Structure 1
Amino acid sequence: MEDQDHRVIARRMDLFHQQEEGPGMIFWHPRGFAIYQLIEEEIRERMRAAGFQEVRTPQLLDRALWEASGHWQKFSEEMFVFEDGTQQRALKPMNCPGHVQIFKSRLRSFRDLPLRLSEFGACMRNEPSGALLGLMRTRAFVQDDAHIFCLEEHVEEEVAQFCRLLKAVYARFGFEDVKVGLSTRPEQRAGEDAVWDRAEDMLAVAATAAGLDYRLQPGEGAFYGPKLEFVLRDNKGRSWQCGTIQVDLVLPERLDAAFADSDGKQRRPIMLHQAVLGSIERFLGVLLEHHGGNLPFWLAPDQVVVASVGPEQAAYAEAVAADLSVAGLRAVADIRHERLGKKVMDARNLGIPGFAVVGPEEAARGSVALRLGKAASADILRSDLATHLLQVTAT
């Protein structure tokens, strides 16, 4: 239905817009960017807890690096390329070669492994104009990208940890139905068959050890390695491929990444590529359609609106909203000279889950009439309101 399209929801909620001067680009409005930041912070905190160190890599890199990695041969038509004198440089379509450069920036020992690096990497891909679709397909997007440089004996636990992380994150955003596919070597690929045999065996063993019930997807792997793909089902029954983890024995070889083993000999690390959400833009689009704009309380850009019944309660409404903001809630006051029904409707259209009414009686008692979603209104003392709403946020 059209009213469930994330672009329609975004207009109603005042989240973002697009225009002809920036095809495939997003103009984030304050409310939309607030959601974006909440998603990013949720992932950032969980990645930090999982032992990842956040990095930032350059947007523009020399063609020679993209050729060495194999991305130029595979993706050059989708890359934005610039002439710089006699050199060609390209905006990054992905983050992995940059993370290899960080790994290579100093001598590494087996004692440094596993080394976990994460990045909210801003990427650019020259998608065909006819394929662009709101947040679902853009030319500029950010990946919650991460790479693990490790030994073979680390792979099982790293894959298991990723699966636990992914399950917790998806549940937090309201997705419980997740399917898994194991994608194997594509027809066009880098690396010898023996390398792919080893990588595919490694990933299959790790997936089984993690308790995954996966389906085999022949020929759908990345050009440098096999991958597990995690597919969400939304409340309309549609499937969305989001998270991935890949075993890569090719890029460390092509980009000459090495560490010293216990005998001082140089060895190649195994490189795991992982992303929980994939593109943050696309995931936000999926979220909006999954929830119909009625996001979980913790994720709403504005969590509660405090509405005055009449102009006499305007100062009190603003004071209550200020109390909630000090307590760490995202609260706004609606003191417009509008009837209460109009304020309720506007709050609902903006996807604000909490609605607090202050009329003459509430102002006199020092309370508010609170309504959360479809819950019945409840009279709550102003002094207790923040505590009550923070408990809701925690869930």
Structure 2
Amino acid sequence: MFDHRPRSWRELPLRLADFGVLHRNELSGALTGLTRVRRFQQDDAHIFCAMEQIEDEIKGCLDFLRTVYSIFGFSFKLNLSTRPEKFLGDIEVWNQAEKQLENSLNEFGEKWELNPGDGAFYGPKIDIQIKDAIGRYHQCATIQLDFQLPIRFNLTFVSHDGDDKKRPVIVHRAILGSVERMIAILTENYGGKWPFWLSPRQVMVVPVGPTCDDYAQKVQQQFHDAGLMVDVDLDPGCTLNKKIRNAQLAQYNFILVVGEKEKTSGTVNIRTRDNKVHGERTVPETVARLLQLRQSRSKQAEEEF
């Protein structure tokens, strides 16, 4: 894509991203649940930039990383992996690139460690590891410099002084990394209690009795039309308390109880999976508040309601 036409320094950095399927022929003994698989999705980005732009691009990648991981509530550790014993390219280029990565990490402000000799043969990299619920570290994100692909594919751009043989550097960047691995870590980390914005079970509507079933279904439809993940429990064999308990055990973030009073007034009675009672609200008011909480990606939506 970069090489389909002549490129100018004015176009750099050129950032291209895709969410695609990748395959890796892992040994069968290394395969582990969703954390290590042979076919996975990855948020892959390739940034073509000039040598002097590396530092700013790495800063941008690190800021992006912090924004995404803070939403999930993850802490992470950073390692700078430098030139291995067997490497390709000019040693001066390596030294310059490693210095720029080091400057970016220092300015980023988070603690980082040096991992000498653990870079790829084609360039240094920053490894990012996140900790799961039982203290294991997993590598998800990666920021990798690549000097060799531009040489191998003969990629060039015209520099500001007219040199039409200037080589770009490629930054490989993945923030989530393997989406399957990220889902596995999130699942363990939350222990089934997904934050509201990410939850597959956001709302359960519970009618007090069969006479309220029609109203409960209308309420469910209103929440569904608003784009929320909502179910309704119409099981005639369960008591009200049993339905509420089942919804709490299934980790529905919010449980909306509807009886004759709510049916008459067009309201719902709101409680959470942790049995915090928020009381009676109108359906439109409840929908609007839940959409606000989803939009804010709050980690404590049940408390903040």
Could you tell me the TM-score, scaled by structure 1's length? 0.69
Q: What is the aligned partner in structure 1 of residue 264 from structure 2?
A: 364
- Structure 1 residue 359: Cα displacement: 2.2
| Matching of residues 263-278 of structure 1 within 5 Å | 263-278=162-177
Are 1:344 and 2:247 counterparts?
no
The letter of the residue matching 2:25 is N
1:349-392 deviation line (CA, Å, top 9, x unaligned): 44321111112332233221111232224222223211121222
**Cα separation, 1, equivalents of 2:242 and 2:4:** 60
Q: What is the aligned partner in structure 2 of residue 152 from structure 1?
A: 51
**Cα separation, 2, equivalents of 1:138 and 1:295:** 24
Asked which structure has the greater CA Rg, the reply is 2
1:190-239 deviation line (CA, Å, top 9, x unaligned): 33434432332232222223334310112222232111122223444332
**Cα separation, 1, equivalents of 2:32 and 2:239:** 38
| Matching of residues 271-286 of structure 1 within 5 Å | 271-286=170-185
**Cα separation, 1, equivalents of 2:248 and 2:36:** 28
Unpaired runs of 5+ residues, structure 2, are 299-305
**Cα separation, 2, equivalents of 1:313 and 1:294:** 29
**Cα separation, 1, equivalents of 2:116 and 2:243:** 54
Q: What is the aligned partner in structure 1 of residue 6 from structure 2?
A: 107
Query: Does the CA-based 8 Å contact 2:82-2:117 persist in structure 1?
Result: yes
- Structure 1 residue 252: Cα displacement: 1.0
| Matching of residues 223-242 of structure 1 within 5 Å | 223-242=121-140
Partner SS, residue 260 of structure 1: coil
Are 1:120 and 2:19 counterparts?
yes
Are 1:390 and 2:291 counterparts?
yes
**Cα separation, 1, equivalents of 2:14 and 2:251:** 41
**Cα separation, 2, equivalents of 1:380 and 1:230:** 44
1:66-85 deviation line (CA, Å, top 9, x unaligned): xxxxxxxxxxxxxxxxxxxx
Q: What is the aligned partner in structure 1 of residue 157 from structure 2?
A: 259
**Cα separation, 2, equivalents of 1:346 and 1:221:** 51
- Structure 1 residue 108: Cα displacement: 1.0
| Matching of residues 72-151 of structure 1 within 5 Å | 102-151=1-50
Are 1:249 and 2:147 counterparts?
yes
Query: Does the CA-based 8 Å contact 2:156-2:164 persist in structure 1?
Result: no
Query: Does the CA-based 8 Å contact 1:149-1:269 persist in structure 2?
Result: yes
Change (3 A) 1:347 1:257: farther
Partner SS, residue 277 of structure 2: coil
The letter of the residue matching 2:165 is Q
Partner SS, residue 225 of structure 1: coil
Partner SS, residue 185 of structure 1: coil
Change (3 A) 1:349 1:236: same
Query: Does the CA-based 8 Å contact 1:107-1:259 persist in structure 2?
Result: yes
Change (3 A) 1:173 1:187: same
Moved more, 243-252 or 335-344: 335-344
Q: What is the aligned partner in structure 2 of residue 191 from structure 1?
A: 89
Change (3 A) 1:105 1:130: same
**Cα separation, 2, equivalents of 1:155 and 1:316:** 59
Change (3 A) 1:123 1:200: same
Query: Does the CA-based 8 Å contact 2:266-2:283 persist in structure 1?
Result: yes
1:86-132 deviation line (CA, Å, top 9, x unaligned): xxxxxxxxxxxxxxxx1112211111111001111200112122222
Are 1:220 and 2:101 counterparts?
no
Could you tell me the TM-score, scaled by structure 2's length? 0.89
Partner SS, residue 41 of structure 2: strand
**Cα separation, 2, equivalents of 1:189 and 1:348:** 56
Q: What is the aligned partner in structure 2 of residue 354 from structure 1?
A: 254
**Cα separation, 2, equivalents of 1:251 and 1:213:** 31
**Cα separation, 2, equivalents of 1:363 and 1:197:** 71
Unpaired runs of 5+ residues, structure 1, are 1-101
- Structure 1 residue 181: Cα displacement: 0.8
Please provide the CA RMSD for this pair. Answer: 1.9
- Structure 1 residue 342: Cα displacement: 3.9
Deviation beyond 6 Å, 4+ runs, structure 1: none
Sequence identity, in percent?
42
1:378 to 266, 279, 293: 279
| Matching of residues 36-51 of structure 1 within 5 Å | none
**Cα separation, 1, equivalents of 2:251 and 2:120:** 38
